[in-house]
Chain A
Amino acid sequence: MITVTSARKDYGSFTALDDVSLDIPSGSLTALLGPSGSGKSTLLRAIAGLEELDSGTVTIEGRDVTDEPPQRRGIGFVFQHYAAFKHMTVRDNVAFGLTIRKRPKAETAKKVDELLEIVGLDGFQHRYPAQLSGGQRQRMALARALAVDPQVLLLDEPFGALDAKVRTDLRQWLRRLHDEVHVTTVLVTHDQEEALDVADRIAVLNKGRIEQVGDPVTLYERPANDFVMGFLGSVAHLGGQLVRPHDIALERDRATALALDAKVPDSPGVIDAVVERVVPLGFEVRVDLRADSGERFAAQITRRDAAELQLREGETIHARAVGRSSVVDHDPALAI
């Protein structure tokens, strides 16, 4: 368990962490998710000891490490840009933590070979980082961090420098790795899809504060506020409320719409809107709409529903919220 209590960090007039408290359960894979400048990296670096807090405490597995340097925190850290030791071979990179601890050579070699096999770099022992692709370098960095048997593994935008395809592959690989290795892992990302994909817990940060912590499903379906709602997926403004585009149903018949809407608690009501554009997106169809109030929003409906409705641009349709993903505690100040 990692416990951060009342962490505060200012850079001049900029507040990176504003009284942040967070518990990260042992063995979990937790994502710190937020836009740039939200303080997520600062929080991770504070856990690592790479950043000193102005106030607050950090404990790792019950040990107060607030005043400990990174060397004595029992962490493994992976950087966005790999931070490879360029003058060392892959083997020496991975062995570094063990070599400086003066472990017996045979033990080190065995451990390194094991790790290289786990990260799929078997046979790359004698290469230099410059001879590896970005994805391979990052896997080497992971093996290097894991070599010292850290209590927690901290990853700072680990896939941020990779291209889209490699990024998706690598994060699923990370998920499988975590299921095997079970080390408490904290991952910083600004990519909600990545967080939803790999993490079993997500902490959403904004402006140096934690907006909500929970499992991906709760966060997506029961966001604590407009910010979380908006950050974890696309949103449509419907009658002054935020609704996921795929939670909007379109009806041809107004009476049907009203009847169905009555069953949904706290719904924004039925909105009459003009169809501006119908965009097929494969499995789903996006319908761009303009409400009578002039407000524009988009609904995402299945291909079959779209075929049934036979939507034509320019006609009026009746939109209602099916109301699954709605904000728990509506605060317009946080709306984005």
Chain B
Amino acid sequence: MTSDTDQQRRGPHPETDAAPLPPRSGATAPDGIRPRGDDAPHGAGSGGAARRTRHGKGLRGLRRPLGIGIVTLWLSVIVLLPLAALTVAAFDEGLAGFWEAVTAPAALASLWVTVLVSAVVALINAVLGTLVAWVLVRDEFRGKRFVNAVIDLPFALPTIVASIVLLSLYGPNSPIGVELNATRWGLVVALLFVTLPFVVRSVQPVLIEADREVEEAAASLGATTWTTFRRIVLPTLAPAILSGTGLAFARAIGEYGSVVLIGGNIPRETQVASQYIQQQIEIDRPLNAAAVSVALLAIAFVTLLLLRVVSSRSQRREERDA
């Protein structure tokens, strides 16, 4: 049995498949380390599973169904069940009822305001978030660590606190003379505040890992700094920027706390979908609330799906056969 497993262990790894690259798959355990469970009476049981895990071939045997079971249950309770309940509530009066609720002028207006403002916020984030990440990675300045820590603050702060702060700063009698209270710009500012970390934090690690020599190579070939950025750096960062932007967008369309005070909740002007939903609940129209919620859900879902497709495509291109 021992010789059998030894054979298995060494069998598939001779030079043939590791030839082009150093064998980083780490498959060659030192001979002294015998995987657990070698002498277990039933090789395919838990001992076998442990052995295979050690060699990175994935869980087998008892553990896989157990793990999958727990994850499925957890996701069902936490995510799928509420979403299903929501969908059921939205279609309480059939498709027609749902359609009527979603296409009610006030509902449509709130969805439009939400998507418009969120898109503006996402775009601003894409540009400035990338710039912030760039400066934090590439430039040296005093207080860099402090600035780096501050990035996460809007995320950690309860959003209603953000709303109060923003209202006192940009609201009526603004101490700095900028009154954004009850305007769409007020919404934009509030949402920018809470979505700040998304792009920064997704671009930062990619930029840290980026190979500076590639940029030097571009420069040696005659590329200006801007050309190098546009043609070399940006394509490398694109998946990260995109995913950060998408997350920021998804967060923005569902945001409630930070916009509730500064937005002013003016229908067709600054009333966002989440506020519309809240309002419909208050006037006892759960169907309207659920229908708009499902619409929001669909928008978020499509956004994340698109991101997935785009980023996995660009990743495949870079790592094909690697």
A133: min CB distance to chain B, Å: 5
A130 touches B214 (CB 8 A): no
Which residue of B214, B227, B319 contacts A85 across the interface (Cβ within 8 Å)?
Answer: B214
Which residue of B222, B227, B232, B236 contacts A148 across the interface (Cβ within 8 Å)?
Answer: B222
Which residues of A lie under 8 Å from residue B223 when comparing CB positions? Answer: 71, 96-97, 100
A128 touches B220 (CB 8 A): no
Q: Is B173 an interface residue (CB 8 A)?
A: no
Which residue of B216, B236, B319, B320 contacts A79 across the interface (Cβ within 8 Å)?
Answer: B216
Task: Scan residues 218-235 of chain B and give those whose CB is less than 8 A from a CB of chain A.
Answer: 218-224, 227, 231-232, 235
B221 touches A144 (CB 8 A): yes
B182: min CB distance to chain A, Å: 45
Q: Is B20 an interface residue (CB 8 A)?
A: yes
Which residue of B216, B222, B317 contacts A83 across the interface (Cβ within 8 Å)?
Answer: B216
A128 touches B219 (CB 8 A): no
B221 touches A131 (CB 8 A): no
Which residue of B214, B221, B224, B314 contacts A84 across the interface (Cβ within 8 Å)?
Answer: B214
The main secondary structure of chain B at its interface with chain A is helix
B320 touches A145 (CB 8 A): no
Q: Is B149 an interface residue (CB 8 A)?
A: no
What is the size category of the interface that chain A forms with chain B?
A: 20 to 34
Which residues of B lie under 8 Å from residue A263 when comparing CB positions? Answer: none
Given contacts A79-B213, A87-B317, A100-B231, contact A130 B322 (CB under 8 A): yes
A75 touches B321 (CB 8 A): no
B217 touches A101 (CB 8 A): no
A101 touches B222 (CB 8 A): yes
Which residues of B lie under 8 Å from residue A84 when comparing CB positions? Answer: 214
Closest B residue by C-beta to A51: B216
B209: min CB distance to chain A, Å: 12
B211 touches A83 (CB 8 A): yes
A81: min CB distance to chain B, Å: 6
Which residues of A lie under 8 Å from residue B140 when comparing CB positions? Answer: none
Measured CA separation A70–B211 after assembly (Å): 18
- Best-surrounded residue of B213, B232, B322 (most CB of chain A within 10 A): B213
0/1 per residue, A140-154, Cβ < 8 Å to B? 010011011000000
Given contacts A100-B223, A101-B222, A130-B322, contact A70 B317 (CB under 8 A): no
B221 touches A128 (CB 8 A): no
Task: Scan residues 225-247 of chain A and give those whose CB is less than 8 A from a CB of chain B.
Answer: none
Which residue of A69, A83, A131 contacts B320 across the interface (Cβ within 8 Å)?
Answer: A131
B residues adjacent to A (C-beta < 8 A): 20, 211, 213-214, 216-224, 227, 231-232, 235-236, 314, 317-322
Give 17 pairs: A residue, B residue, CB < 8 Å, sorted on A: A70-B219, A79-B217, A81-B213, A83-B213, A83-B217, A84-B214, A87-B236, A87-B314, A87-B318, A96-B218, A96-B221, A97-B223, A100-B221, A100-B227, A100-B231, A101-B222, A131-B322
